[in-house]
Amino acid sequence: MLIRPVAEDFRVIGSYMGRIFLVVAAASLLPLIWAGIVREWHPFGSFLLMTAVFALLGVIGVRLAPEVSELDWSHGMVVVALTWLIVPMIGAIPLLLSGHFGRPLDALFDAMSGLTTTGLSLLSDVDHLASSLNFWRHFLQFLGGQGIILAALTIFAGTGGITLYFGEARDERILPSVTSTARFIWAVSVVHLIFGVTALGLVGWLVLGFDFDRSIFHGLMTFFAGFDTGGFSPQSTSIGYYHSAVFEGVTALLMVAGAMSFGVHYALWRGPRRSVFANLETRTILSTFGFTMVLTLLGLAATGLFVNVAGLTRQGFFQILSAHTGTGFSTVPPIELARWGGLAFGGMAIAMALGGMGSSTAGGVKSLRIGLTVKAVVNQIKQVLLPEHALVGTAYHQSGRKHLTPVLIQSVMIISLLYVALYLLGAGIGLAYGIPLQESLFESVSASANVGLSVGVTDPSMPILLELVYMLQMWAGRLEFVAVFSLLGFAYAWVRGK
């Protein structure tokens, strides 16, 4: 029998959400200050309104329950799913008031795309967007990539910290406590921020001839979108705008860092470093990267678009790395990407669908699940081929020796199948609107796996239903389903429970 949620359930959920909103309100002060410094008064007003709404919701939530009470698993998941819905709604206010969007829904689409680190955009004339609004778009990607809940957990953990932590699609705790894990993640990010902005800023200043302020701005925006595998860019031509192999190289390093799990960062930082390359996840992602890269390069060479090694390597490598890490940066426009077709298209779509490592900012099925699935299939074949009483090894290495259990296989298979269903959902809706299968599937996978590469389907004139489906895909794909199903279950129990 379903039990209808009572007032106490809503009070607990509301109080945790209130605390998270207060943290987001504090983060919203950054674009507000930015707008004030550069004297962009129209965006300043809209940031003030947004911050006030976050703060008001935060205060209301905290007043529901001044003492932080215990948060159980289902409450935690509902908090995560609702937070990831409401933050983009309020975060879209400055975008909506900017006048750069045709429909209010388009502003929400961009806010959802930003927070989920997808990178698809319906914004028109990004090249002339106010710098504070550009900062907010990219900062949303940083906030979403790091995890808005994680940001809150750094400040308050409470008894429900672990539930919130796992609800945000993180499946490993690096240090004994959630708070110390959250702080380590921030430490890694801050170190990358210093390195990324300095390196990209220097390239902009010394190589591209930008003035100092512009170099820092482009460095910071590219860092936010690269390290958090978001893919937004202050220029409509993305990374292709810079025409610089050095800029692309530094961006590639940030994309690789962003797609690594924070467990790998921990091992590279504090050791044991060699264990990183023994991990099933590392071996899987290196194998799938190699496989999809060969497919893409073969496809590109067959099109005849690239006839020299340097051009083929540079374009092929950057695009496939962007796809596999779930970033969405590109050095070719969507129209040219659509012309790639065939094997190159397939290689890119597979890379996007597979995604980066677990507990990273990347989306997609994730390498560990792919590795475990392959291992389970191989074990199954061995069991069929070997004598009846032969024992098939189930051990694998992932931050230590672990065993492949039926429960683990079941969980891996369910999530992987849900991703496939999500990819097909958007592709099916696209097909219904007459978009060719290849483009429909590519764009749907890009939205669901939070990548952001586009072949032109995502456009201000796109059908509203398809836009809504892409938003659903971005949200469900980012949270890896569990929190989404918990919210649906909670809502169903509220309506039909007793």
Partner 1 sequence: MSEPRDRRWLSFLGLSGGLAMFVAEALIVVGLVTLAWLTSVLILSVL
Is residue 356 part of the contact set for partner 1 (CB under 8 A)? no
Is residue 343 part of the contact set for partner 1 (CB under 8 A)? no
| 272, 386, 417, 492: which one binds partner 1 (CB under 8 A) | 272
* Least spacing, CB of residue 257 vs partner 1, in Å: 5
Is residue 293 part of the contact set for partner 1 (CB under 8 A)? yes
* Least spacing, CB of residue 314 vs partner 1, in Å: 9
Q: How is 417-475 classified by DSSP, letter by letter? A: HHHHHHHHHHHHHHHHTT--HHHHHHHHHHHHTT----SS-S-TTS-HHHHHHHHHHHH
Is residue 7 part of the contact set for partner 1 (CB under 8 A)? no
Site string for partner 1, 407-446 (x = CB under 8 A): ----------------------------------------
| 48, 105, 301, 408: which one binds partner 1 (CB under 8 A) | 301
Asked if residues 469 and 425 have their Cβ atoms less than 8 Å apart, the reply is yes
Q: Is 151 helix (H, G, I), strand (E, B) or coil?
A: helix
Judged by CB under 8 A, the number of residues near partner 1 is 36
Is residue 191 part of the contact set for partner 1 (CB under 8 A)? yes
CA 230 to chain centre: 6
Considering the complex, state which of residue 302 and residue 437 has its C-beta at the smaller distance from partner 1. 302
The number of beta carbons lying within 10 Å of the beta carbon of residue 308 is 8
Is residue 188 part of the contact set for partner 1 (CB under 8 A)? yes
b/e sequence 422-452, b meaning 16+ C-beta within 10 Å: bbbbbbebbbeeebeebbbbbbbbbbbbbbb
3-class DSSP string for 61-130? HHHHCCCCCCCCHHHHHHHHHHHHHHHHHHHCHHHHCCCCCCCHHHHHHHHHHHHCCCCCCCCCCHHHCC
What is residue 229's DSSP assignment?
A: T
Is residue 265 part of the contact set for partner 1 (CB under 8 A)? yes
Q: Name the CA dihedral angle for 270, 272, 274, 280, rounded to a multiple of 10 degrees.
A: -100
Considering the complex, state which of residue 195 and residue 485 has its C-beta at the smaller distance from partner 1. 195
Site string for partner 1, 213-252 (x = CB under 8 A): ------------------------------------x--x
Q: Name the CA dihedral angle for 401, 403, 407, 409, rounded to a multiple of 10 degrees.
A: 100
Site string for partner 1, 302-331 (x = CB under 8 A): x----xxx--xx--xx--xx----------
- Neighbouring residues of 313: CB distance < 8 A, sequence distance ≥ 6: 297
* Least spacing, CB of residue 272 vs partner 1, in Å: 4
Considering the complex, state which of residue 11 and residue 397 has its C-beta at the smaller distance from partner 1. 397
Is residue 289 part of the contact set for partner 1 (CB under 8 A)? yes
Q: Where are the beta strands (DSSP E) in 311-444?
A: 395-397, 401-403
Binding site for partner 1 (CB under 8 A): 188, 191, 195, 249, 252-253, 256-257, 260, 265, 268-276, 289-290, 293-294, 297-298, 301-302, 307-309, 312-313, 316-317, 320-321
